[in-house]
Structure 1
Amino acid sequence: MKVSIITVVYNRAATIERAILSVLGQSYNNIEYIIVDGASKDGTVDIIHQYKDRVHAVVSEKDNGMYDALNKGIRMASGDVVGILHADDEFSNDLVIEKIAERFRANTEVEAVYGDVGFVRNGEDDKIVRYYSSAIFKTKLFTWGFMPAHPTFFCYRRFFEEFGYYRTDMQIAADFDLLLRFLRKHKLYALYIPEMLVKMNMGGKSTNGLSSTLRINKEIKQILKDHQLPSNYLRLYARYFVKVWEFGKKKK
């Protein structure tokens, strides 16, 4: 089973090498790694080229944002299963992809998998400051703004062709829309892996202060409306009580 991993990046010279090494260091030996760069100007491309012999495909050109770049990478992929690793993030250990592939191989009914995310601050990769567990997730919780940890989501590539790619009219919440479509609308059989699969840097698009909080909830509300699902801002903001509790959780 070939697993394609997509990293999209723009001006992340400080973190891209860590992400690349995280993929190249995986124990699983049937990985296709694709990097889509948005024409970075800060030295990111120079770092990527240091590993060009071990990366299967590199594209560096202007795009229409992160989700456009992700769609581009997925369309280039030839793997049976597709997942992403953002340029600020890293897999929690070298066995992650092996464990994910094993879940697909062990049960032919499994169509997607996801796990947990640990949040870290830049320069403190070993200190988990917030732990997001996907264990509580049920599809009915989409109407409250909850979803499984998107950076840990892997599914068969064919589902992107069948059910559609990421929306490019959203700045932050297109991952919410995609997971809602795949898991609730199309009812993919997803298996939860009860452990941290990805370390995610604080300060990304979805966690970068008040402006990103307002934006993501506005987009989620619009997505729910587009899918004719009930929701309101009271519900969406209520989930932040859970987020506060996550800061006290420990890494599993």
Structure 2
Amino acid sequence: MYFSKVHNLKISVITVSYNAQSTIEQCIQSVIGQDYPHIEYIIIDGNSSDGTIPILEKYKKHIHVFVSEPDKGIYDAMNKGIALASGDVIGTLNADDFFADSHTLTVLSDAFKNNVTDIVYGDLDYVKPDGSTFRKWRSGPYKKGMFNLGWMPPHPAFYCRKEAFNRLGNYSLEYGTAADYELMLRFIHLNQLPVYYLASVLVKMSTGGVSNSSINNRVKALIFDMRAMYRNNVLFPPIALFLKPLRKLGQFF
């Protein structure tokens, strides 16, 4: 179902947190500082034991749905958020990331309203603790078959209609740290949902990430990537797997 320009598109933003006391406040402030009024903010906490919960309590009037309980990892928590979301469109904002500016969700909403699309994705900047940018992810417009060449959009800048999750499923825990990649493969490559590229930086992403934290985790991530490719009909997965990291080299220049 597509919405007219007069529809007040409701956007559900899901933040997953666990012991994120050093970053969660900046994340929350970037959400509540948006100039777009139709936001549902959902925080799924993994039963944090540091100072995260008191910070969340501080902003409870801005949080529409809050859950704090043990989970099976970040994608299990995201699935909980999706199940609780009532928005027309759903996206995630990790606890150590933040929106690029106060207009991000307004621009996203306009993209959904003005284009026949189920998915809108944009660009991403990687930032150091001091806020300086050291890597820029500019994925560009999507063309059919690009996943066969190792392409993918940045997941933190990926927003999708809730109806698509209802129809095609949520994040599969079978793919470990590649669950977000598998979902985007499934939605865009396999099922060919209409997509729109928003040529704008939507999210600032802090350095790090579970899949890159060690050589062992990196190897596991490659195996999960390969499984996701075979599952979603990528042509010649070994070639796509080889090209996928090579595409990222340009993000540093």
TM-score (norm 2): 0.92
Cα displacement string for residues 106-143 of structure 1 (whole angstroms, at most 9, x for unaligned residues): 23x1211001110012x222x11000111064342323
Alignment of 1:197-212 (within 5 A): 197-212=202-217
Q: 1:150 aligns with which of 155, 158, 181?
A: 155
Q: 1:9 aligns with which of 12, 17, 22?
A: 17
Deviation of 1:243 (Å): 1.8
**Quick check: 1:130 aligned with 2:135?**
yes
**Quick check: 1:194 aligned with 2:202?**
no
Cα displacement string for residues 60-116 of structure 1 (whole angstroms, at most 9, x for unaligned residues): 000111111000001100011111100110010000000000111123x12110011
Give the aligned partner of residue 121 of structure 2. Answer: 114
How large is the Cα RMSD of the aligned pairs?
A: 1.5
Give the aligned partner of residue 50 of structure 2. Answer: 42
For 1:130, the aligned partner's letter is R
Q: Is the 8 A contact 2:190 2:233 kept in 1?
A: no
Distance across 2 between alignment mates of 1:233 and 1:161:
31
Q: Is the 8 A contact 2:230 2:237 kept in 1?
A: no
Give the aligned partner of residue 40 of structure 2. Answer: 32
For 2:34, the aligned partner's letter is Q
How many pairs are equivalent? 245
**Quick check: 1:166 aligned with 2:171?**
yes
Give the aligned partner of residue 85 of structure 1. Answer: 93
**Quick check: 1:229 aligned with 2:234?**
yes
Distance across 1 between alignment mates of 2:83 and 2:246:
38
Residue 121 of structure 2 aligns to a residue in which SS? strand
Deviates more, 1:13-22 or 1:227-236: 227-236
Deviates more, 1:141-150 or 1:17-26: 141-150
Residue 187 of structure 1 aligns to a residue in which SS? coil
Q: 1:75 aligns with which of 79, 83, 93?
A: 83
**Quick check: 1:246 aligned with 2:251?**
yes
Residue 193 of structure 1 aligns to a residue in which SS? strand
Distance across 2 between alignment mates of 1:3 and 1:28:
9
Deviation of 1:232 (Å): 4.3
Distance across 2 between alignment mates of 1:97 and 1:36:
20
Deviation of 1:236 (Å): 1.6
Give the aligned partner of residue 52 of structure 1. Answer: 60
Deviation of 1:238 (Å): 3.4
Residue 62 of structure 2 aligns to a residue in which SS? coil
Residue 158 of structure 1 aligns to a residue in which SS? helix
For 2:19, the aligned partner's letter is N
Structure (1 or 2) with the greater helix fraction: 2
Structure 2: stretches of 5+ with no match in the other structure: 1-8
Structure 1: stretches of 5+ with no match in the other structure: none
Deviates more, 1:98-107 or 1:29-38: 98-107
Distance across 1 between alignment mates of 2:144 and 2:218:
22
TM-score (norm 1): 0.92
For 2:119, the aligned partner's letter is A
